[in-house]
A and B are shown apart, each in its own frame.
Chain A
Amino acid sequence: MKVEEIMTTKVESVLPTTSLRAVARKMSDLGVGALPVVDEGILIGIITDRDVSVYAIAMGHDPQSTEVQKVMTREVFTCNASENINQAAKIMEQHKIRRLTVMRGDQELAGFLSVDDIAPVSGDLAGAVLEAATPIH
């Protein structure tokens, strides 16, 4: 099975200059825990609900005046939309993560693939990803 058959395709993104408060509101409204950060059409990072809350507050950043680019993760793990889900699950296991950004070709952002998307099609693959992931209890 290919990644594009099960990935989440509704991809909303934010700008590197968006405020943490605006990002948090967007995540809350959309019911998502992560958003890609896109600058002039290029994916430059990922921002998560944990980054805008726990990390930002612990670092003393003001949510209204702090830009996403200050707290986002620049190292984005990706897979390709046409890749096999076994391969994608392996990438997650290797990096101990639960979510990949899905690309079509080199630059086009196609969606997200999370362990939740994998669970309905392969319990064993999803379980292996969870087992390998760095636990945040």
Chain B
Amino acid sequence: MKVSELMSSKVEFTTPASSAKVAARQMHDQHVGALPVMSDQQLVGIITDRDICCKVTATGRDAGWTKVEEIMVKDVVTCFDDLSDSDAANIMIDHRIRRLAVLNHENSMVGFLSVDDLARSSHELASSVLEASTPVH
């Protein structure tokens, strides 16, 4: 099965200059745990609820005055939307992660593929991704 058939394609995004507070509200309203960070239609990072927990709430920084670009993860691991589910799983396994940003061949971001999405095509693939990734219990 191809990544494009499994990914979640509703891509809401934030910008580097947005505040952590605005990003948190957006994650809350949209029931997502991660947002792509876009600048001039280019993907420049990913921000997750965990980033906000560890880098804002835990440190005492003010969420209203902290910019997304200060706490986002800049090394975004991506895959193309026409890749097979098992190739995408191998990328996650190599990087010990559970989520990939999905690009089309024009390099536009078209979705996210998470280990949950993989579980819909193969329990075994999803499970190998979990086993390889760094657990957050």
Contacts and interface: CB of A to CB of B under 8 A. Distances in A.
Interface of A: 8, 20-21, 24-25, 27-28, 31-34, 49-50, 52-58, 63-64, 99, 112, 114-117, 119-120, 122-124, 126-128, 130-131, 133, 135-137
Contact of A131 (B56, B63, B123, B128): B123
Interface string B105-137: 000000010111111101111111011010111
Nearest to A135: B116
Interface pairs A-B: 7 shortest CB-CB? A127-B123, A123-B127, A58-B28, A24-B58, A24-B57, A130-B119, A57-B24
Given A56-B57, A137-B114, A49 B50 contact: yes
Given A137-B8, A137-B33, A126 B126 contact: yes
Contact of B60 (A28, A64, A128, A135): A64
A25 to B, nearest CB: 4
Given A49-B136, A131-B116, 11 more contacts: A31-B136, A31-B137, A33-B50, A53-B56, A54-B27, A55-B28, A115-B130, A123-B124, A124-B123, A130-B116, A135-B114
Interface on chain A toward B: helix, strand, loop, or mixed SS? helix
Contacts of B57: 20-21, 24, 52-53, 56-57, 63
Q: How large is the interface on B (under 10, 10 to 19, 20 to 34, 35 or more residues)?
A: 35 or more
Nearest to B10: A137
Interface in B16-71: 20-21, 24-25, 27-29, 31-34, 49-50, 52-54, 56-60, 63
Contact of B25 (A21, A58, A120, A131): A58
A89 B31 CA distance: 24
20 contacts: A21-B57, A27-B53, A28-B58, A34-B137, A54-B24, A56-B57, A57-B24, A57-B57, A58-B29, A63-B60, A116-B133, A116-B135, A119-B127, A123-B127, A127-B126, A136-B31, A136-B33, A137-B8, A137-B33, A137-B99
